[in-house]
Amino acid sequence: MTELADRLHGVQQRIAAAARAADRDPAEVTLVVVTKFQPVDLLQELYDLGVRDFGESRHPEARDKAAALPDDVVWHFIGQLQTNKARQVAKYADVIHSVDRIELIEALDGRELDVLLQVDLGIPEGGSEGPSRGGAKPSAIPFLAGRIVESDGLRLRGVMTVAPLGMPVVPAFSALRMVSERVRGVAPDASWISAGMSGDFREAIAAGATHVRIGSAVTGPRSTGL
Ligand SMILES: *Cc1c(COP(=O)(O)O)cnc(C)c1O
Residue 222, pLDDT score: 82
Tell me how far apart the alpha carbons of residues 52 and 211 are, in angstroms, rounded to a whole number: 13
C-alpha angle with apex 56: 177 to 191, nearest 5 degrees?
A: 25
Closest Cα to atom 13, ligand 1: which residue? Answer: 78
User: Which H/E stretch holds residue 118?
Assistant: strand 113-119
Tell me how far apart the alpha carbons of residues 185 and 179 are, in angstroms, rounded to a whole number: 10
Residue 223, pLDDT score: 73
164 in ligand 1 pocket by Cβ < 6 Å? no
| pLDDT greater than 90 at residue 221 | no
Q: In this predicted model, which residue has the larger pLDDT, 123 or 182?
A: 182
Closest Cα to atom 12, ligand 1: which residue? Answer: 78
- Report how far Cα 82 is from the mean position of its chain's Cα atoms: 17
User: Which H/E stretch holds residue 28?
Assistant: none
pTM exceeds 0.85 for this model? yes
User: How many angstroms separate the alpha carbon of residue 79 from the centre of ligand 1?
Assistant: 9
pLDDT digits (tens, 9 = 90+) for 133-158: 799 999 999 999 999 999 999 999 99
pLDDT digits (tens, 9 = 90+) for 40-55: 999 999 999 999 999 9
Asked whether 5 and 189 are in contact (CB, 8 A), the reply is no
Alpha helices in the chain (DSSP H): 3-21, 40-48, 61-68, 86-92, 102-108, 141-149, 169-186, 201-206, 216-219
96 within some domain: yes
74 pairs with which residues across the strands? Answer: 53
Asked whether 212 and 32 are in contact (CB, 8 A), the reply is yes
80 in ligand 1 pocket by Cβ < 6 Å? no
225 within some domain: no
137 in ligand 1 pocket by Cβ < 6 Å? no
Domain that includes residue 167, residue range: 3-219
Q: Which amino acid is at 169?
A: V
> How many CB atoms within 10 Å of residue 2?
9
214 pairs with which residues across the strands? Answer: 33
| pLDDT greater than 90 at residue 75 | yes
Tell me how far apart the alpha carbons of residues 55 and 86 are, in angstroms, rounded to a whole number: 16
Number of domains the chain contains: 1
226 within some domain: no
Look at residues 176, 155, 55 and name the one whose alpha carbon lies nearest to residue 105.
155
73 within some domain: yes
Q: What is the mean pLDDT of the chain?
A: 95
226 in ligand 1 pocket by Cβ < 6 Å? yes
pLDDT digits (tens, 9 = 90+) for 158-209: 999 999 988 899 999 999 999 999 999 999 999 999 999 999 999 999 999 9
User: How many angstroms separate the alpha carbon of residue 223 from the centre of ligand 1?
Assistant: 14
User: How many angstroms separate the alpha carbon of residue 222 from the centre of ligand 1?
Assistant: 11
80 within some domain: yes
31 within some domain: yes
213 in ligand 1 pocket by Cβ < 6 Å? yes
Tell me how far apart the alpha carbons of residues 169 and 163 are, in angstroms, rounded to a whole number: 6
113 within some domain: yes
Tell me how far apart the alpha carbons of residues 160 and 198 are, in angstroms, rounded to a whole number: 15
C-alpha distances out from residue 116 to 84, 187, 191, 225, 226, Å:
19, 12, 10, 23, 21
215 in ligand 1 pocket by Cβ < 6 Å? yes
Tell me how far apart the alpha carbons of residues 43 and 54 are, in angstroms, rounded to a whole number: 8
- The minimum-distance atom of ligand 1 relative to the CA of 57 is 15
Q: Which of 34, 132, 159 to mutate to test the pocket of ligand 1 (most atoms within 8 A of CB)?
A: 34
| pLDDT greater than 60 at residue 105 | yes
Q: What is the CATH number of the domain that holds 133?
A: 3.20.20.10
